[in-house]
Amino acid sequence: MNSIAFYFQIHQPYRLKRYTFFDIGKNGGYFDDTENERILRRVADKCYLPMNQMLLEQIEKHDGEFRFAMAVTGTVLDQLEAWYPEALESFVRLAESGAVEFVCETSHHSLAFLSDAQEFDAQVLAQKDRIEQLFGQQPTTFRNTELVINNEIAERVEAMGFKTLLGEGADQLLGVRSSHEVYRPATTEKLALLLRTYERADDIAFRFSNQGWDQWPLKPETFAGWLADVPKEAKYTGLFMDYETFGEHQWRETGIFDFMEALPALVIADPTLEFKTPSEITKAHAPTEELDIPHSVSWADAERDLTAWLGNHMQREANRLLYELAEDVRLVAAAGHAEILQDWRRLTTSDHVYYMCTKWFSDGDVHKYFSPYSTPHDAFIAFMNVLSDLKSRVRVALKERPSSSKKVVPAKSSPSDSTGDVPIRELAPTTKKRRKDSRT
C-alpha cells in the first residue's frame, strides 16, 4: 500500500531593516518588526488560519485517517506568540487532534551544521523542547533546514536520538533508485531516511496555478490517480512542501484550498492508498537499502545543493564572518548578554544569505520573489552592516567580562563541503565508531 506522507514546512524569518553604514554604532535595532508583523499577519490570514481550520475539519470528518506532518520554526513561533497568538492556537488544536506529527529542526532555520556543530546542537535541542512544551509531542523525526542532508548530518541526527530523517529525492542522489523506498544513510546504524517525491510535490507547490502547464487546472481526482499509479512495491510518496504554498504562494482564487479539501476523501476511498505520518511509515517499514550521501543535497533550485545559500563569494563571506563570532557570542551570552545571542541567532536564519543569491533564469525568479531587497548586493550590504555593529557590541561586552572567565576552545575545522569554500566543523564525538566503508 502506498502511504501518502504530507509534510508542511512553516517558516518566517526576522527580516532586517535597511541598515546603513551610518547606523553602525548608533542604532542597535536590526530587525524591521513593523514589516515582519505585517507579513506574519498577512500570511496567517491567507494561509495558517484557513488551512489549519480546513485540515482540522478533514481530520475530524475522516476520524483521524487523514494524517500529516508539520514543522514550525522557532522564528515563526516567536512571531506568532508576539503578534498573532490566535494563529498559534490553531496549530495547537491540530496537535491535539492526534493526527499531526510535529517534526523537529533547527530553531532558527539555520545552516549551523555546516559551520558550527555546537550551535546546531543547541538550536535542535531548543526546538525539540519547544515542540514538547507547545504541542505535547516528543519529536522523533528530524528535517534539517531546507532538507539539507549528507552523511555527517545523518550520523549526528541519529546520535541525537532521532529515528527518522527527511530529505530530497534528488536525481543526483538516487540515480535509478526510487524515492518511494525507505533508506538508511551509510553512516548510521538504524536511522530511516524518507525522501521527497519532488515530481508529485511540485505539482502542488509550483505548477498548480501555471496555466501553461498541460495538466492545468489540476483536479484532485487526477492527482489521486497519479498517487495510485506507482509500482506495487512503493512504500510511500513524500509530499513535502512549504505550507505557505496554500493561500500565499498559490492564492485561494487558484482553487488550491478546494483541491486540498477534496483530496483526503479520494485517497481514503482508494484501497491502495492511505495517509501516514513520517514516523508511522518508518515504524511500518525498515530501511531496505543503504544510501551514501557524501555531498550535501537540498530541496532548493534545479541543482538541489547548497548553492542557493553558499554559491557566491558574498554568501560565503557573510556566512564565514557570522560564524566566526559564534564562540565570542556564547561567551558574552553566558556573562549576561542574552540579547546579543538572540540577535546573532536571528542572523543565522538561512534566508539572509538566500537573499544574496545571484542565480538567474527560473531559479533567479524564485529568489527574487522571496527577497525584500532590490538586488543581492543590497542584501549583502545590509547584512554586513548589521554584522559589523553586532561585532562591535560583542567586543565591548567581552571587555566587560571578569578577567577570570575562560574562553571556550573553538572546534577544529574539517575539509570543505562540495561548495568548495565553506568550512565544516567537526562533530562532537559520538558513542559509536564511524563505519569504515562510509565517506564523510
Domain-wise residue ranges, the chain: 2-291, 307-401+412-421
3-class SS at 90? helix
Catalytic member of 146, 152, 181, 248: 146
User: Which residues have CB under 8 Å from 213's CB, separation 6+?
Assistant: 207
Residue 102 has a pLDDT of 98
Mean pLDDT by 10 residues, the chain (440 residues): 97 94 84 97 98 98 98 98 98 98 98 97 98 98 97 98 97 95 98 98 97 97 98 96 96 97 98 98 96 95 92 97 98 96 98 90 49 90 96 94 52 34 34 33
Residue 253 has a pLDDT of 97
Residue 186 identity (one-letter amino acid):
A
168 is catalytic: no
Q: What is the pTM of this model?
A: 0.89
Residue 363 has a pLDDT of 46
In CATH terms, is domain 2-291 a member of 3.20.110.20?
Answer: yes
- Cell numbers describing residue 340: 546579543
Residue 360 has a pLDDT of 60
Classify burial at 30, counting beta carbons within 10 Å of its beta carbon; exposed 0-12, middle 13-18, buried 19 or more.
buried
Angle of helix 117-135 relative to helix 85-96, nearest 10 degrees? 80
Residue 202 has a pLDDT of 97
Residue 372 has a pLDDT of 82
Residue 403 has a pLDDT of 60
Residue 369 has a pLDDT of 54
| 193 bridge partner residues | 165, 183
Residue 349 identity (one-letter amino acid):
T
Q: CA-CA distances (angstroms) from residue 12 to 5, 9, 80, 108, 146?
A: 23, 10, 10, 10, 13
Residue 366 has a pLDDT of 52
